[in-house]
Chain A
């Protein structure tokens, strides 16, 4: 499950988003470099970020797309991995520690991966099946291993209590260990790992591309402290990691390219430099003062505009469609926006043009969208008939049409109508307490007034934004959020966003009369093994959800990458939503 903190946290931008297996299209491939330039070995590659630390560096806790791509390219290895190439080919899986991309049986309820021979940790010890099994077991210790993906808990055939909590509590307390051992087992030669799933999961192997499958020997598990000193199996090992300082990666002498078709070790060293002030960071890339550096972040808005408008610098940048959908969720629970006409009235009055202009224009920000699923996900996307595809949609806002919808709402759902139009009630929009959000509010409020809708903003401190809106009792009528798929299957979009226990259902739609039919459709899609038939069902489910306006305004956003002129091999790694790290080298 992936959520995008971009709209709300500003500085964190894509930071808290896990990888998304989507086909990103390069809308302005200004700086994409020719693949024919031969990479060279040597030099130091600097990776610069304003953040003080990685959200997590423990392989079982890391869940930020950008951080995953970085650590998986240089430090960790996993059972399977995305192909290290740009474009659509990059969304396919290739074997990594395993000999193949996994073998499914029992209708997708049993998965087997056999480990390659000769793979080692940086200390020279061999990687064995029990290490992968132990690594997976760590994700169940939610009292220590916090923040990471919960795929193992969701998919493995391990009993749960009435509240849905796993009977297994992880390797530290070993409560329920027997249940886990039944669900995950290693062969006698310690080379093949077998996963027994509780449900058929034809795309389970995609979950194994996450570092949750990166091996950890039980004897070397340091619990919480592994977040500062992770083990290495990749081409580099962590020589030092200091929060607010840097993470220094040096070559791992026990890594061999013969067992690794994904990674490279071109630079002598890779230094991830933390805590660089945003102004200094932007100057570095605007002026190209640190030629052997790449920007781990996005530039600040005005600097980003300058960078991509300047002929001198834009050749060192990529402007791509990112994997994320940014939206305002409509809370359709009783007492909130439990009236379709009111939801539509809000949507059609939305001042898209002004908001996009505020955020850097369509060229850098993105465009209005029609779906929770972004087109670059592939076959699961189909144009919906609602939102921007409705004939009444106007990107500047259509208050006249909103008024007709409100008029209909007045008789059909008078309570919600009264809430939306009376000054003493009004529609509450949850938003992060940032300067940018206040500028947006200054655009939205009068635009809604023109349609006769009263808007009240609920500014929530940035750090507690998501924890507040995920609390059903504290969420307002609308909440800004964002989402990207974990991999190229809408099973990582539709259920999380619209199913009660999906993890991020901000529409609180489970009491909506339209919900049962939708849930049945979603469940059917999830259980369908034929990929094409499944895609059709996801398209229908998306059409259904969007027609209910459980999501209000949606945007298909873009992201920009920037780097110094001394870095070669730069390209966009679509499934990871960031640099194609394995291709990067420092020019001589």
Chain B
């Protein structure tokens, strides 16, 4: 197992290094010039060139990349004379648009995104898996049909529609949250109720589409597993239906769902861009969106990309381990 984990960790590290280099290469060939964008109105070639130096863009992409990687371990210093300042390690660069070290910016955005992802994940797993199991158990009854309608509606409504509908016609219409409180970050440690109420509607909006997909997926997995020989054998041995469902059916049926859930969760940790945008949550998704489409803020783009990739890589690792735990056949192999 240790060897397996070590091998996976090494490959994950290589993947992250390749991803970070790729972002630098892509950024280098985009038709944008952040130095010119930051130039202001009385823009001369000298000011552009000074900006390029200030932003660290006056060297080749591999030098920029190397400085970035080095900064993670030893920190980075910017400016000169009285305007000099340092971002301590781990330094992911400095955002001249937000006037802060990227590590500070990430530290403030990450709890928002993690809160959103965890809450939505719990919600859709309960709702989606629960409804999937129930509709499989009561196949072809009104419960199953109602669940089908939920699946149809849920999967047909993209988050940018469901989110807006929830926000405009429920949250704001019935004054459930003041529009000026939208996007306010409350720590779950110091203000748990405010944290819960500020995230409930974003969770619901995000969970709807996932829950619908998971309902359908769980239902078909449970039905498929129920027709397996070992289930038939269990029933023939007189095992109760409850035990057949909980002990013999769900475990193999849920294993593939766990794989998808892990990856979906990791994807959300990288930033649920649309939900964060609609509910004005200052998380990683909004941060990335602003950096990529508005500010062309390379240090933030690279850092959020690496962070998102790290989440996916780690989630893959955890899923693999959990899968081995859930399915003894994997462990034997």
Question: Interface of A with B (CB < 8 Å)?
Answer: 1-3, 18, 46, 48, 52-53, 61, 63, 141-144, 146-150, 153-154, 163-165, 171-174, 221, 223-225, 227-228, 243-245, 271, 273, 275-277, 279-280, 283-284, 289-290, 293, 461, 463-464, 467, 470-471, 503-504
Contact = CB atoms under 8 A, between A and B. Distances in A.
Contacts of B286: 244, 275
A143 B42 contact: no
Interface stretch (B178-186, B200-208, B325-333): B178-186
Contact of A143 (B37, B54, B98): B54
B50 A280 contact: no
B82 interface: yes
B38 A147 contact: yes
A290 B180 contact: yes
17 contacts: A61-B40, A142-B47, A154-B42, A172-B81, A172-B82, A223-B79, A223-B85, A224-B85, A244-B183, A244-B282, A279-B164, A280-B168, A283-B168, A283-B179, A289-B175, A463-B295, A467-B33
Given A52-B290, A283-B172, A467-B33, A149 B41 contact: yes
B99 A225 contact: yes
B38 A146 contact: yes
B43 A470 contact: yes
A463 B168 contact: no
A308 B48 CA distance: 43
Nearest to A138: B83
Question: What is the interface residue range for chain B against chain A?
Answer: 35 or more
Contact of A280 (B33, B82, B99, B280): B280
Contact of A173 (B45, B81, B183, B290): B81
A142 B41 contact: no
B32 interface: yes
B37 A463 contact: yes
Contacts of B82: 171-172, 221, 223
B180 A273 contact: yes
Interface in B140-184: 164, 167-168, 172, 175, 178-180, 182-184
Contacts of B37: 463-464, 467
Contacts of A228: 99-100
Task: Tell me the interface secondary structure of chain A in the complex.
Answer: loop
A463 B293 contact: yes
Contact of B42 (A150, A163, A243, A271): A150
B51 interface: yes
Contacts of B179: 276, 280, 283-284, 289-290
A558 B265 CA distance: 48
Contacts of B33: 464, 467
Given A224-B85, A228-B100, A283-B172, A461 B54 contact: no
A63 B185 CA distance: 30
A461 B294 contact: no
Contacts of A273: 180
Given A52-B290, A467-B39, A224 B44 contact: no
Nearest first, the 7 closest Cβ-Cβ pairs linking A and B are A150-B42, A223-B83, A467-B36, A147-B40, A172-B81, A172-B83, A244-B282
Given A228-B100, A461-B32, 16 more contacts: A63-B41, A143-B50, A143-B51, A144-B83, A146-B40, A225-B99, A227-B99, A245-B185, A245-B282, A273-B180, A275-B183, A289-B179, A463-B293, A467-B33, A470-B43, A471-B36
Contacts of B278: 277
Nearest to B172: A283
Interface string B57-78: 0000000000000000000000
B31 interface: yes
B46 interface: yes
Interface in B96-116: 96, 98-100
Interface in B271-327: 277-278, 280, 282, 286, 290, 293-296
Interface string B13-57: 000000000000000000111001111111111110011011000
A461 B31 contact: yes
A539 B99 CA distance: 44
Interface in B235-284: 277-278, 280, 282
Contacts of A467: 32-33, 36-37, 39
B80 interface: yes
B282 A275 contact: yes
Contacts of B184: 245
B32 A464 contact: yes
Contacts of B40: 61, 63, 142, 146-148, 150
Contact of A464 (B31, B99, B168, B282): B31
A143 B36 CA distance: 12
A31 B188 CA distance: 43
B259 to A, nearest CB: 34
B100 to A, nearest CB: 7
Contacts of A53: 98
A289 B42 contact: no
Contacts of B36: 464, 467, 470-471
B50 A142 contact: yes
A275 B289 CA distance: 13
Contacts of B85: 223-225
A163 B53 contact: no
A244 B100 CA distance: 14
B182 A280 contact: yes
Given A146-B38, A165-B44, A244-B286, A224 B79 contact: yes
